């Protein structure tokens, strides 16, 4: 006869409520761990998916993800001239916020180096990669842009030709993929009035200069677009992605490029470490501390629940002692109930969490390692929390059965 099972059947309602309560608390602990894992995965998602060897960014910056980076487009051709470099691609990355169908829409814009990169490497859930240099985009499902939907960004209208899944940045914003030319057009778009005022100011500066006075015909160039003036730089990109030949040492190529005075270079591992120890470090620590705090709270609550259940059985425990039941029978009763409470609570946590977590605005990633770790934690909590009830049970005198 199993005393723990008998007692649970006798107090089934109370035990069920306690199990659900513990399960909800463990679900929060599980969710915190999943959010922690999701933040790390989202932070390094692009670095892992792009699969390049080197990132060339602006000198003394940690870009393009950790901070703003600006490098000239001709850096691509300079990189290709380095011995051992197999490919070099442009990379444009920035975040915008617009309004679509009456709702705020925050988009991380990523430019693909057309026509080398059309987005074939993206995990498409629907649609196709880019097939032309302008006016097409691939959007993540979290942006809630339907296939074929049109959205106006800057002065142009773009059509969603494909959708991806789980392509989000470290802040949880969905990523939309354009060609580099379109990404730059979105990034450097200015109102027409600003362009007109800039050209007028440019004309005024020319009039006040000696060149404008001596050669008035040159002032006609002030009213042309910036792209037509050789003295003005072209729009800059965020970084250059470099792939090194398999037979060449990546560190040697990085050493050559790092000698240039206008850029810094990082390996993919270096860029990944910058993201994990820079952008998301405080968030990771905060969620980690919350997870530890919730685990301690779960242990305290389970201990109180088992202590209360033991108090309700004081008369029964005293009667067992009066009948000559050894201590290990009473210890087994309390320990078995603690283990059953923890195990059933873990089942409730996983069952409910599997339905609830996909509804969260941030990704919640549950790995097998994390689930095993939580199961071990629950086992330790169950055993530890039962000690309070066991201590109380051992202090019960058999004479209390006669009172």
Digitized pLDDT (tens) for each residue of the chain, 403 residues in all: 455 566 666 667 777 888 888 888 888 888 888 888 888 888 788 888 888 899 999 998 887 887 888 898 889 999 999 999 999 999 999 899 888 877 888 999 999 988 888 888 888 999 999 999 999 999 999 898 999 999 999 888 999 999 998 888 877 788 999 999 999 989 888 777 776 777 777 767 776 776 666 666 666 666 666 655 655 567 888 999 999 999 889 999 999 998 898 899 998 888 888 888 776 778 778 888 888 888 888 778 877 777 777 766 666 666 666 666 666 667 777 778 788 888 888 999 999 988 988 888 778 888 888 888 888 888 888 888 777 777 766 676 665 555 6
Q: Domain ends where: 235, 256, 275? A: 275
Q: Which range of residues forms the domain containing residue 203?
A: 45-275
Same domain, yes or no, for 270 and 295? no
Please name which of 80, 46, 384, 29 lies closest in space to residue 243, comparing C-alpha atoms: 80
> How much is the CA Rg of the chain, to the nearest whole Å?
32
Other CB atoms within 10 Å distance of the CB of residue 119: 22
Of 223, 246, 275, which marks where a domain is finished? 275
CA distance readout (Å), 309 to 88, 150, 200:
68, 62, 83
The residue count for the chain: 403
Using CA atoms, how far residue 232 sits from 186, 236, 312, 320, 380, in Å, is: 19, 12, 84, 93, 67
Q: What is the pTM of this model?
A: 0.75
Contacts of 286 (CB under 8 A, 6+ apart): none
261 and 113 belong to one structural domain: yes
Domain co-membership, 222 together with 304:
no
What is the domain count for the chain?
A: 2
Helix, strand or coil, per DSSP, at residue 160: strand
User: Per-residue DSSP letters for 30-66?
Assistant: HHHHHHHHHHHHHHTHHHHHH--SEEEEETT--TTTS
Say if CB 321 and CB 356 are below 8 A apart.
no
233 in the same domain as 141: yes
351 and 218 together in one domain: no
Dihedral sign (CA 47, 49, 52, 53): positive
Asked whether residue 19 falls in the same domain as residue 71, the answer is: no
Q: Which of residues 226, 259, 275 is at a domain's end? A: 275
Same structural domain, 345 and 380: yes
> Do 206 and 300 belong together in one domain?
no
User: In this structure, are 326 and 396 located in the same domain?
Assistant: yes
Q: Does one domain contain both 154 and 227?
A: yes
Same domain, 70 and 195: yes
> Are 35 and 128 within one domain?
no
**At a CB cut-off of 8 Å and minimum separation 6, what does 41 contact?**
363, 365
Beta bridge partners of 263: 58
């Amino acid at each position: 006869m199993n005393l723990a099972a008998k007692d649970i059947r006798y107090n089934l309602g109370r035990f069920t409520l306690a199990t659900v309560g513990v399960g909800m608390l463990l679900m929060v602990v599980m969710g915190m761990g999943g959010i922690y894992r999701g933040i790390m995965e989202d932070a390094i998602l692009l670095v892992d998916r792009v699969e390049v060897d080197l990132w060339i960014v602006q000198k003394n910056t940690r870009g393009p993800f950790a901070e703003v980076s600006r490098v000239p487009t001709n850096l691509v051709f300079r990189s290709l001239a380095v011995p051992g470099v197999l490919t070099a691609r442009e990379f444009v990355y920035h975040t915008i916020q617009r309004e679509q169908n009456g709702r705020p829409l925050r988009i991380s814009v990523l430019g693909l180096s057309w026509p080398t990169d059309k987005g074939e490497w993206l995990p498409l859930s629907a649609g196709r990669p880019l097939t032309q240099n302008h006016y097409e985009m691939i959007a993540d499902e979290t942006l809630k842009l339907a296939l074929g939907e049109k959205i106006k960004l800057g002065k142009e209208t773009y059509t969603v030709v494909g959708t991806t899944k789980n392509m989000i940045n470290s802040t949880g914003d969905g990523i939309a993929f354009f060609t580099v030319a379109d990404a730059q057009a979105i990034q450097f778009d200015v109102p027409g009035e600003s362009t007109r005022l800039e050209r007028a100011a440019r004309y005024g500066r020319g009039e006040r200069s000696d060149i404008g006075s001596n050669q008035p015909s040159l002032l006609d160039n002030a009213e042309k677009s910036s792209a037509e003036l050789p003295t003005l730089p072209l729009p800059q990109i965020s970084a250059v992605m470099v792939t090194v030949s398999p037979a060449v040492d990546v560190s040697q190529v990085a050493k050559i490029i790092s000698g240039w005075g206008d850029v810094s270079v990082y390996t993919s591992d270096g860029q990944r470490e910058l993201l994990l120890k820079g952008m998301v470090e405080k968030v990771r620590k905060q969620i980690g501390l919350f997870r530890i705090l919730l685990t301690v709270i779960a242990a305290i609550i389970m201990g109180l629940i088992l202590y209360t259940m033991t108090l309700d059985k004081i008369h029964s425990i005293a009667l067992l002692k009066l009948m000559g039941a050894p201590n290990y029978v009473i210890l087994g009763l309390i320990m078995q109930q603690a283990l059953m409470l923890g195990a059933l609570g873990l089942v409730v946590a996983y069952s409910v969490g599997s339905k609830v977590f996909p509804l969260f605005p941030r990704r919640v990633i549950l790995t097998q390692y994390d689930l095993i770790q939580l199961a071990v934690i629950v086992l330790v909590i169950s055993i530890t929390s039962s000690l309070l009830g066991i201590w109380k049970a051992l202090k019960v005198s058999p004479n209390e059965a006669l009172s």
